[in-house]
Chains A and B, each alone.
Chain A
Amino acid sequence: MIPELGHFALILALCTAIILAVVPMLGSFTGHSGLMAIARPAASAQAFFVSLAYACLTWAFISHDFSVLYVANTSNTSLPLVYRISGVWGGHEGSILFWCFISALWTGAVAVFSRSLPQVLLARVLAVLGFVSVGFLLFVLLTSNPFERLFPVPLDGASLNPLLQDPGMAIHPPMLYLGYVGFSVAFAFAIAALIGGQLDTATLRWMRPWTNIAWMFLTLGISLGSWWAYNELGWGGWWFWDPVENASFMPWLVGTALIHSLAASEKRGVFKAWTVLLAVLAFSLSLLGTFLVRSGVLTSVHSFAADPTRGLYILLFLGVVVGGSLVLYAFRSHRLNSTATYELVSRETALLLNNVLLVVACAAVLLGTLYPLFVDALGYGKMSVGEQYFNAVFVPLMLPILFIVGLGAMLNWKRDKMKGRSGPLLILAVLSVVTAGVLATQLLSFSFAAVASLALAIWITASTVFGIVHRIRNKRKRLSAVMHTPAAFWGMSIAHVGLAVFTVGVALTSIYTEEQTVRMEVNTTHTVGGYTFTFAALDEVRGKNFNAIEGRFNVERDGADVGTISAQKRFYDVRRDTMTEAGIDAGFTRDLFIALGEPLEGGQAWSVRIQTKPFIRWIWLGTIFMGLGGLLAALDRRYRTVSSRSKAAKTSTGKAKSALDSMVAGSMASTATATDTPRSSGA
């Protein structure tokens, strides 16, 4: 009964989404405010129905309803509760429903928090979001119904892929989807701006927090995926340039360009058409990523099923969205003229350069990802593009980007003089290189690449600090200057330092990792990277739904005990899958990584992969900083104080402010009254 209810709710959601996509858009053209007013309730209704459908599917998982085909294929009675809940998005059908769910939530959030937007604009934004929802809801209902029944009902399910039974994998998809789908908001604003033929500062100001939040989720989502791969795949790598990883990385690159371009557009009124194009591209790449991952054209843990109709559907939808928006862009973008000017030496130039570099980097990744697919589709044979291609193209592009990040943070908007600036800049640059050289040679062994990357990381950090100091140096009350520095500025600074931390992590890990694959018996020792690993014991362990063989290794360095690492080889009961659970001794400056390979000679000896990985934690630490920066920037007060009336509303709400409240306060600016406050804060 519950699954049918879910299915029915999904159909109702589709109906409301169609209404949402059509009626307000019509209203916006005819100027009929009654039609436009349907947008917000329709968005809320859609969010309700999709949430209901989603809850029904979750219930089927929790209650082990194996009469539902999808549950029977993805769950099992021995699966722990947390993986039954995350199992909902552990297969194809559920993950698409999950996409719809997130999309409905974003749409609902826009409806709730954007009341102060002009009615026409809001109607169009919500209608575009409704259109995207229609696309995905139709996809679920036509090609991948998660509520399909199965008869006869099996006694137990086929269980979740053990690779996905990991806490990192449980939260990676929600984060990633929040990011992917979040770009649909920026996309909707961009399309609405193109239709209306104008993009004013107020609209841009609205777009910024939404885009920042989406970007934050995408950053954290990709980071979690990389962390999961490191923990679960057993080869000790954190990034593989796998097409599926690229699929999430391309929207990130363009999204990064977008948040910077948005900043320039909002503050200085430049690059408007470019900003709109980036918003369209970011979302298109999110859709492309979904297509690549879900259509089964790629061999990966993510491609659950290869059903040609699904691939064709997403491809068609992709064609409509990308084609439609680019045609619209071609006809309307000239109306989004940027009146402001800037000179060659200015922050605008730095932002533009980095924007172009990011897009070029994205294009390089796109080429490497799609080329093999095209060649295959055209029947010229099968091929793959290796990791080396991506490294060879990507790294040289990143170096100027890192340099310009530091430079741009120190330049003024509009115009700056190199005269008087070049002195401090030069000193800072020389200091960065010297410090990097000293650090690299003293603490590690010399490597040109390590010095260059460290120098760039120090350069970014130093210039960020310089920017902060510059901001408050000339103020009389320094403390209050610090207090009054906008959150967006702190967000930018933290994110840039995060980038520096990330750079250090990537560079040092890839340069100084030591890896050996060896044959070890119990009580033998092996030395890698100055650490001595003793294979202490081999035991059998029983987990909730798996048996494991666990190897324990004692680690010493220079005679001092470092700790014990346990690495497991797991054999899952239901799917009869074998999984490597790597043993990792995590540290701030180094990780020790051990993965059991295979038993040799009947289990007396094992092949063991041992790695020492300096500074690998910094990679994820850096991304956490970036995400935090994105969040802080989104919470900036300026996005809340749209008019004086919003201030009045804000003081009445009191001091208790959460991330959402801040946007609520802004959204109440022109339409809502103070009585709305309790309801909105609860939302």
Chain B
Amino acid sequence: MTPKRKQRLLMVCLMLSGVGVAVAFGVNAFKQNIMLFHSPSDVAAGAVEPGTPFRVGGMVIDGSVNRSSETLAVSFGLTDHAENITVSFEGILPDLFREGQGIVAMGSIDDQGTFNATEVLAKHDENYMPPEVAEALEKAGKMPGTAANYGSKTVQP
């Protein structure tokens, strides 16, 4: 091998090993950090093991929001109009969190079947429903009619 070829070989090896290490990092991180989405019906059907982190989405049940008077703890019922689960959370709920509207929460269920949320996400917009929630509701056959703005081309999930 000429010195130049040797150098090129070295270069290619360096790069391949570098990319390899990066891919290994990536796949590893990937495995640990994907979070599946489940609907309250899935949860009720026992599709998720207690302690496994996942995302759950649905509508907040009217009149179910219950705040602690001393701490920032809050609990509320979440429904896909087929099944309900109770979500408990400690912290600040997003601005657009309201009763009767769609949200997505991240966390896991405990042995009693309560969902302990580490994060609660609400939609950004008055008429927008998270697609996961919309689909979960549709699956349960409980999709409510959505309010449009003006005309038909506006935000509809």
| B-binding residues in A (CB < 8 A) | 69, 72-73, 148, 150, 154, 158, 161, 163, 234, 299-301, 304-307, 341, 343-344, 349, 352-353, 356-357, 360-361, 364, 367-368, 371-372, 381-386, 388-389, 392-393, 396-397, 400, 517-519, 575-580, 595, 597-598, 600-601, 607, 609
Contacts and interface: CB of A to CB of B under 8 A. Distances in A.
A299 B96 CA distance: 14
Contact of A73 (B30, B36, B154): B154
A598 B29 CA distance: 35
Interface string B107-150: 00000000000000001111010111001000000000000011
Contacts of A349: 11
B131 to A, nearest CB: 6
Contacts of A579: 95
Contacts of B96: 577-578
Nearest to B97: A598
Top 4 A-B pairs, shortest CB-CB distance:
A382-B37, A597-B92, A392-B29, A389-B33
A306 B155 contact: yes
Contacts of A299: 123-124, 128, 130-132
A305 B37 contact: no
Interface in B32-77: 32-37, 55, 67, 69-72
Contacts, number: 142
B32 A397 contact: no
Instruction: Identify the interface centre among A69, A384, A518, A600: most chain B CB within 10 Å of its CB.
Output: A384
B44 to A, nearest CB: 17
A163 B128 CA distance: 14
B19 A367 contact: no
A307 B55 CA distance: 25
Contacts of B11: 344, 349, 352
B150 A600 contact: no
Nearest to B16: A356
B10 interface: yes
Contact of B132 (A353, A382, A598): A382
B30 A368 contact: yes
Interface of B: 4, 7, 10-11, 14-15, 18-19, 22, 25-26, 28-30, 32-37, 55, 67, 69-72, 91-93, 95-96, 123-126, 128, 130-132, 135, 149-151, 153-157
A150 B67 contact: no
Nearest to A163: B124
Given A73-B149, A519-B71, A364 B22 contact: yes
Contact of A357 (B18, B55, B67, B131): B18
Contacts of A343: 7
Given A385-B33, A578-B96, 14 more contacts: A150-B150, A299-B124, A343-B7, A344-B10, A352-B11, A353-B14, A356-B15, A357-B18, A372-B34, A384-B55, A517-B92, A518-B72, A577-B96, A577-B126
B33 A356 contact: no
B33 A234 contact: no
Contacts of A609: 92
A72 B14 CA distance: 58
A306 B156 CA distance: 7
B126 A576 contact: yes
B151 A69 contact: yes
A213 to B, nearest CB: 30
